[in-house]
């Protein structure tokens, strides 16, 4: 399994008020078997059930506020 780390600064706020991080299908594949993990204060990760949207060549991870974390995926 591969992973991509992201930070709070990577999130962009959309018109709906939610925050999102965008990945390209060419970077992470078609998006099957994605897992989103949030980094906790002690450095461990917890799995969260984030909304994942797809549009054209983009895959968007959406959440109510930005957070540090990582995306786990199969290549």
- Sheet of 45-48, strand order: 2-6, 69-73, 35-39, 45-48
The percent of residues in the chain predicted with pLDDT above 90, rounded, is 56
Is residue 55 situated within a structural domain?
yes
Is residue 2 situated within a structural domain?
no
- pTM score, whole prediction: 0.84
Quote the number of domains for the chain.
1
Is residue 49 situated within a structural domain?
yes
Average pLDDT across each block of 10 residues of the chain; the chain has 75 residues. List them in order.
Answer: 93 92 85 86 95 89 94 84
pLDDT one-digit tens code per residue, 10-19: 999 988 889 9
Is residue 41 situated within a structural domain?
yes
Is residue 38 situated within a structural domain?
yes
Find all residues with CB under 8 Å of 29, minimum gap 6, and list them.
73, 74, 75
Is residue 74 situated within a structural domain?
yes
Q: Which domain holds residue 51?
A: 16-21+30-75
Is residue 6 situated within a structural domain?
no
Find all residues with CB under 8 Å of 40, minimum gap 6, and list them.
46
């Amino acid at each position: 399994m591969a992973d991509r780390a992201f930070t709070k600064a990577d999130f962009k706020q959309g018109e709906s008020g939610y925050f999102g991080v965008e990945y390209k299908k060419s970077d992470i594949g078609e998006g099957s078997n994605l897992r989103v993990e949030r980094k906790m204060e002690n450095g461990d990760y917890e799995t969260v059930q984030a909304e994942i949207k797809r549009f054209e060549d983009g895959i968007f991870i959406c959440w109510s506020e930005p957070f540090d974390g990582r995306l786990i995926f199969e290549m």
